[in-house]
Amino acid sequence: MKAIIQNEFGNADVLSYADIEIPKIGENEVLIKAKYTSVNYADIKNRIGSKGKGNFPLILGLDVSGIVEETSIHSSFSKGDRVIAFPKDGSYAEYVVANEQLVFKIPDSLSFEKAATIPTVSILSYILIHEIGQVKKTDTIVIHSAAGGVGSMLVQLAKLAGVEKIIGTVGNPIKEEYVMNLGADMVCTYDSFAVEVLKQTNNQGADVIFDSVAGDVTGRSLDCLALYGTLVQFGNSSGKVGNFNTSDVHSSCRNVKGFSLGTTRKHNPARLAPVAAKVTELFSANKLTLPIARVFDLKDAAEAHKLIESRNYEGKVLIKI
């Protein structure tokens, strides 16, 4: 089969289009013929080696949409099932293997392209909004990196939940119109958001702030987080660690919550199935949609990575297998 592999950490040029063996399934696993995979910032971090050691040759990719090709005995899946999944050894390949707990059926009415936008960013966003952030209609919330994949979905889910005031932040003001069209009430830059949030809330601050950027943005988020407010930390796309003092939270009754979809896939995969079903239903009913910035062919995965690193895109970047 064709796959994108890398034999060392480095820039996008380490990604190589190659022929490798089709993987074998084990107990409680399925083989999936891939149709599309999404490109996530975690792929960039894995490629350059900032997320730990690499087991080379390495195949990147977190998720996939496709068709079940082979199942183990007594499987709840059948050959021909249309699914989305989190493969165990990367998704930049024509065939992938996934544990059944991380495979979810999709209806015939949902295209593979659209379905490929669901697994990582949409399931993550639903959990962040409803389980971790526990947003209420009366809340003022801030969504950092609002033009990215997760940000785009957080804005829509918040709007769908009837949240009173949604403030998005972007690195480039040119993305403001895109974020407003998704349902945000206001869009700010990373430099100005703290002042604007306080202005919009009569100096009370935001009730929930979703931060995937970290670095200096984390500190500025605490500058405009309300009493009893929640800072949801789920990434560090800036490449820098965010810092806060214990005194920043205890006397103000504020709290910081962390969440990782990768950790949950590994340690609590059963938590994802009901969320996947809810999100898939919302996509099928056209209540949610994730704008697709661009679709690349598998052999052009390096170009997809370069686009992600440029941050010059809105929505989701996909690879067609």
pLDDT score at 315:
85
pLDDT score at 48:
95
pLDDT score at 314:
86
What residues in the chain have per-residue pLDDT under 70?
A: none
* Segment 126-136, tens digit of pLDDT: 999 999 999 99
Residue ranges with strand state E in 180-261: 186-189, 206-211, 225-233, 255-258
pLDDT score at 85:
98
pLDDT score at 136:
97
Distances (CA, A) of 116 to 156, 193, 225, 271, 306: 17, 32, 34, 20, 20
pLDDT score at 263:
96
Residue 124: its H or E element: helix 123-127
pTM for the model: 0.94
β-strand pairing of 225-233 with 206-211: parallel
pLDDT score at 320:
98
Question: What tokens does 230 get?
Answer: 């929640």
pLDDT score at 238:
83
The torsion angles phi and psi of 117, rounded to 5 degrees, stand at -85, -5
